[in-house]
Amino acid sequence: MNIKSAVITFLMMFACFTSASETLPVVGGKISDSNTGETLPYAKIQIKDTNRLATANQDGLFTVLDVPVGATLVITKMGFESHEVLVQSDTERLTIELLKAGSNKDNSIETIVVSGASSQKLEQSGTSQYSITSDITKSLPNLGEQDIFRTMQLLPGVSGSNESSSGLMVRGGTIDQNLVLFDDYTVYHVDHVFGFFSAFNSNAIKDVQLSKGGFGAKYGGRMSSVIDITGKDGNTEQFNIGGSVSLLSSNVIVETPFADGAGTFVMTARKSYQSDLYDEILDSVTGQENNQATSAIPSQFGLGSFQTEPESYFYDMNAKLTYRMDNGDKFSLSFYSGADELDNSRDISGQSNFLTDRCSGETSGPFAGRLCDGFNFDIGTVDLSEWGNTGMSAKLTHQWNDRLNSNFVLSTSEYFSNRDRKINSDVTFNTDDDSDDSDSSDNSQSNQSSSNEDNLLNDVTMKIENDFFLNQTHKLGFGLQLTEQNIDYFLMQNEEVIINTNNEATTTTLYLEDEIALDTLIVTPGIRASHYSINDEVYIEPRLSMMYDLNDSTQLRGAFGDYHQFALSVARQSLEEGPRSFWTLADGETVPVSKARHFIIGASHEGNDYTAHVELFHKQYEGLSEFTEQIRPMRNEDGRGAVLTLEQEFHTGDGTASGIELFLQKSFGDFTGWAGYTYSQVEYDFPTVSDSPYYADQDTPHEFKVVLMYSLGDWDLSSTFVFATGRPYTEVLGVAEDTIPATYEVGEKNGERYDAYHRLDLSATYSFELFGGDGELGLSIFNAYNRENQWYTEYDIIEGEILETEVNFRGFTPSIFVSWNLN
């Protein structure tokens, strides 16, 4: 299947569906926010007293076929009051405005308002799928920035102990295995401030759809999950301006209508800074300076262990222009740009009393027990990183008739990452020779090491997505997607080029799925076919999901699917630099196309005040890639012996991820919240890395989370708690003998685990009115009891001894913020 054949096939499908001439009773329309005029994506439309349910699309448009005259439609959307609308004819076009939960604004549409909606509710909208709005993040603990990705990390099945990244590790998957879309352009890196913030400003977000697995044929190119984010269009009713300031960042939003509300424009921007107040608060609590804080701690190695915390800053901006035409078409142009800079530089000095070859002219190993004056060491590390994303999309929504609508999207994305690392080490030996003839240069030694790493990714995508309502039982989705990707990766260590790649690929995709709605059963079979140009292969991906209503409150769910990934972020394991990764394209050989097969079954029960879910999942991985350092014996040139040498190469393996998730939520009343528990196991099998299967880096067998929220008048109080089993790591045992240069002796691959991770966050938010607008004042405490959770460990070899630097996550961190919006 090449591009030409895919286009011809798509056009034939399109012609076939548009030629359907059967006339059916149709009730459709648009659902929007009564206050701002924003359309509301993925709202639910149900024919009252029946099991028939429809869902609005991303633009808030909906269609329901064969609705009896006199029937009542019930429209619901998380965070809004539900409404009931009486159908007065068998062909109607409705404009429905929903009231924000708690709003007192009168509705201009003749509807019956059904109270009781909660903006603090997480809504499960399908198998392993959740609908999330940015409102739910407002009262949760934060560092001055509401972060919807941090909220998703509080769900079962999503790692909450991955503090170093706002990216999601979903059901044992890695961060790169998530398809992240913002207004239909792909975002390849989602971090700010070393993982404390996501790359997405909550002021720019209207809706988020999270699918933790088993997602439909519309989505592809990733093996784990989909995060589909819809950005705000902007206020169609009136001009609005707002902003917020915290101890870490400032944030501003401007939105305005034009052309009598037919057009809207919205822009958000934020930037972090290192304030004096922040440093003073942190210093008074922790007793140490915040900038590159370094301290010594006990260690199993002779040179000791040191701790360090890096510093960084970021900026980002979103802008979106939307215009609604007289014929109902909608055009939008969305733009994003953001970048980070990270400084992990540090200076470490100390001394050793262990006997070395340079001490007293004698030799002895570090554990021989003989002591002498030893040596002093001073290590200066310059470690600078920067990374960022740019994305843009142009989208046209066109409704051909009451039964067929299409989205035409052209998007582009760019991701860059640069890291420069240089280490200068000075060692001064303390000898017993005090004679004037001794050469002082013999008593000192200097070494340098360096690495340079650059990664650049460009993505240009064109896609056409269509929904066709065949009849009241069948809703067809079909589409065409063309993606051009170009990825450069360069790695140089100690002036030697290790990797220098440039890959280009075209991926051509067709998909078709059919949502079959029966009385108590919804079945959605689908198929996705992708041609990948690098190896000229076609990848067929069958998909199937089912939902069965056991009774009015209990539903059974299940899903199955095959998923392939062509653009991969390959893990690069390094004892000196810690865990790293880089984006590259699969070539079918050195880096194979990865595959995952999903199996999911579950059930949900919804009572008056509580909802409960349970899901079991199993994923089978094929063609996983890792880039590691490997010590191998190599024969001497004279053929009479062997030495150990260091090789760096790609490795290929398989894996499995299995587990069970439990979720309990209280959605109504002043006291709300949820609790989630996940038991899982993620195991990899890389024959060239380990002789036996081992736990993956992201394996956390037990993870427990609690979110509690309480409304007390104008105050919102909340707390979150996360507990997780410590992640596995490969233990460093010492320095391998007879290796030049010196290398490490390590234990079993990921045979040890860090201590358990746990953290408590607290917050209090006060709401007020000022100058005709709404404001909030909040205090958050991150890591309230100052738990030292370890991230990773870096190692350096100095004169046959190991220096250990423990890189920890952030400790006790208070934050204060104030925000205000005109409307």
What pLDDT shows up at residue 155? 93
148: phi then psi, degrees, rounded to nearest 5: -70, -25
What pLDDT shows up at residue 738? 65
Q: Give the distance, in angstroms, between the CA of residue 323 and the centroid of all CA atoms in the same chain.
A: 30
* Same domain assignment for residues 598 and 549: yes
Whether 696 shows a pLDDT value over 50: the answer reads yes
* Same domain assignment for residues 118 and 210: no
Pick the more confident residue, 357 or 219: 219
What pLDDT shows up at residue 428? 76
Instruction: State how far the alpha carbon of 729 is from the alpha carbons of 262, 632, 732, 745, in Å.
Output: 56, 21, 9, 14
* Same domain assignment for residues 187 and 306: yes
What pLDDT shows up at residue 708? 94
Whether 677 shows a pLDDT value over 90: the answer reads yes
Counting Cα atoms < 13 Å in the Cβ hemisphere of 77 gives 29
Domain count, the chain: 2
Whether 89 shows a pLDDT value over 70: the answer reads yes
Quick check: is 363 in a domain? no
Quick check: is 432 in a domain? no
Quick check: is 414 in a domain? no
Picking from 106, 124, 142, the residue at the C-terminal end of a domain is 124
Whether 117 shows a pLDDT value over 80: the answer reads no
Whether 288 shows a pLDDT value over 60: the answer reads no
* Same domain assignment for residues 40 and 10: yes
Quick check: is 434 in a domain? no
Quick check: is 425 in a domain? no
What confidence tier does 734 reach under pLDDT thresholds 50, 70, 90? confident
What pLDDT shows up at residue 120? 58
Q: What is the mean pLDDT of residues 442-464?
A: 85
What pLDDT shows up at residue 284? 43
What confidence tier does 371 reach under pLDDT thresholds 50, 70, 90? very low
Least-confidence region, from 157-171, 420-434, 654-668: 420-434
Query: Residues 378-414: pLDDT tens digits?
Result: 777 777 888 899 999 999 999 888 888 999 999 999 9
Per the prediction, the chain carries an average pLDDT of 82
What pLDDT shows up at residue 138? 77
What confidence tier does 22 reach under pLDDT thresholds 50, 70, 90? low
What confidence tier does 635 reach under pLDDT thresholds 50, 70, 90? very low
What pLDDT shows up at residue 230? 94
Quick check: is 352 in a domain? no
What confidence tier does 252 reach under pLDDT thresholds 50, 70, 90? very high
Q: What is the mean pLDDT of residues 677-694?
A: 92
Picking from 79, 100, 124, the residue at the C-terminal end of a domain is 124
* Same domain assignment for residues 170 and 159: yes
Per the structure, the complete domain to which residue 78 belongs is given by: 3-124
* Same domain assignment for residues 65 and 139: no
Give the separation between CA 149 and CA 136, rounded to whole angstroms: 11
Question: How is residue 100 annotated by DSSP?
Answer: B
Picking from 76, 98, 124, the residue at the C-terminal end of a domain is 124
Quick check: is 648 in a domain? yes
Quick check: is 416 in a domain? no
How many Å is the maximal CA-CA distance in the chain? 109
* Same domain assignment for residues 663 and 759: yes
* Same domain assignment for residues 268 and 306: yes
522: phi then psi, degrees, rounded to nearest 5: -120, 120
* Same domain assignment for residues 475 and 510: yes
Least-confidence region, from 146-160, 257-271, 307-321, 460-474: 307-321
Q: What is the mean pLDDT of residues 87-113?
A: 67
Query: Residues 37-53: pLDDT tens digits?
Result: 888 898 888 888 887 88
CATH number at residue 568: 2.40.170.20
Query: Residue 693 is inside which H or E element, if any?
Result: none
Query: Residue 279 is inside which H or E element, if any?
Result: helix 276-286
* Same domain assignment for residues 62 and 195: no
Token output for 324: 């609604």
Instruction: State how far the alpha carbon of 62 is from the alpha carbons of 56, 92, 190, 519, in Å.
Output: 4, 12, 31, 20
Give the separation between CA 514 and CA 477, rounded to whole angstroms: 6
* Same domain assignment for residues 448 and 390: yes
638 contact partners, CB below 8 Å, separation of at least 6: none
Give the separation between CA 720 and CA 709, rounded to whole angstroms: 9
Whether 359 shows a pLDDT value over 60: the answer reads no
What pLDDT shows up at residue 707? 94
What pLDDT shows up at residue 749? 87
* Same domain assignment for residues 20 and 148: no
CATH number at residue 26: 2.60.40.1120
